[in-house]
Amino acid sequence: MDFWRDCRRCAWVIGALIGVFLLGLGASEGQFNVIWKKAVIICLECIGIG
Amino acid sequence: MKRLRLVVQLLFTIVTNGYLYGFLNGKIYRGGLKYVCVPGLNCYSCPGAVAACPIGALQALLNQRGFQVPFAALGFFFLFGSLLGRFVCGWLCPFGLVQDLLHKIPVFNKKKRLPCHNVLKYGKYVVLILLVCTGSMFLWGGFAKIPAFCKYLCPSGTLLGALPLLSANEILRSQVGGLFLWKLGILLAIVLLSVKVYRPFCQYLCPLGAIYGWFNRFSLVQICWEAEKCVSCMACERACPVALSRKEISRSPECIRCGKCADACPEKCLHFSGKDRC
């Protein structure tokens, strides 16, 4: 019981580490460039034109 | 706490939308900060936005030619979600702030929830699956990939992106058509509903809330309930803007960590904490 309670208490650390790992994977695949390219042009769909 | 939350919401909105030149000239920021996402729903086509929207980023990655797992967007969700959960919704989301301010307008018979809440609350998961994920990949517009959530639903894009851009940019204004009117209609409906019902978009439609809600059970920021000190006065349940019971507060995917329960508790048995049991 204590084991599972402890697991849940540190779940946020595991989640944050997974987040950092996924960010690293995204960076290695060049996904930040995709995000940047989308974010620096006016998104016509977002503003209801495109 | 109430005042502190409002100050944090205002500051975060101003800082993450601080590119004033964009508002004056109808252009958007094109700097390096847009490689990263803000935690809340903040349209990257807002003239002031200095970073990217996480839902927009997720759709942009899903819209790429061929299928790729959107690692970067998932990374932001895991990082923000594991640390903060829906604290993001309550304290850091600009569109949440807009709805909070609208709900302060005094009208008769305010509601915490819509009728059929227990069914409607799943709407945000439907939006996440159908519009954000499936829609972005292939569902809408034939097989041409489009950001379906941004295009057909997102009221944050209309309010923070479209209205300031169109007011300052004549070329864009000349291209307005039926789609803009559709989105304006959605925004107006949500604005009017927000005056009466607490945060209807967050409770029923926001895909980001659906994602962060999943992290609420184990995120670092929790609202701690000390059961042994509780005198069952129900002040917390009356204060909760999304009508959660005291046992659901904090761990429920609907809790936005606004802290009103902690403010209302006369015995101070509810408080922000880094763990869910005290």
Show which of residues 16-45 on chain A sit within 8 Å of chain B, judged by CB atoms.
16, 18-27, 29, 31-43, 45
Kindly determine whether residue A26 and residue B71, on different chains, have CB atoms separated by under 8 Å. yes
Q: What is the mean pLDDT of residues A17-41?
A: 95
Q: What is the pLDDT of residue B26?
A: 85
Boundary (domain end) residue, out of B187, B213, B239: B213
Please give the C-alpha separations between residue B195 and each of B90, B111, B161, B162, B242, in angstroms, as whole numbers. Answer: 17, 9, 22, 22, 14
**CATH number of the domain to which B263 belongs:** 3.30.70
Please report which confidence band the pLDDT of residue B54 belongs to, taking 50, 70 and 90 as the band edges: very high
What percent of chain B is modeled with pLDDT above 90?
67
Say what the pTM is: 0.92
Residues of A whose CB is below 8 A from B45: 42-43, 46-47
* B208 shares its domain with B256: no
**Into how many domains does chain B fold?**
2
As given in the structure block, the two tokens for residue B173 are 């204004």
pLDDT band at B259 (very low <50, low <70, confident <90, very high): very high
Predicted confidence (pLDDT) at residue B141 exceeds the cutoff of 70: no
Whether A31 sits inside 8 A of B182 (CB atoms) is no
Q: Is the pLDDT of residue A14 over 90?
A: yes
Instruction: Please report the ipTM that was assigned to this predicted complex.
Output: 0.91
If pLDDT is split at 50, 70 and 90, which confidence band does B133 have? confident
**Interface contacts (A, B; CB < 8 Å):** 167
- Collect all residues with Cβ–Cβ distance below 8 Å to B109 and sequence separation of at least 6: B196
Structural domain count, chain A: 1
Same domain? For B170 and B46 the reply is yes
Average pLDDT over residues A5-16: 82
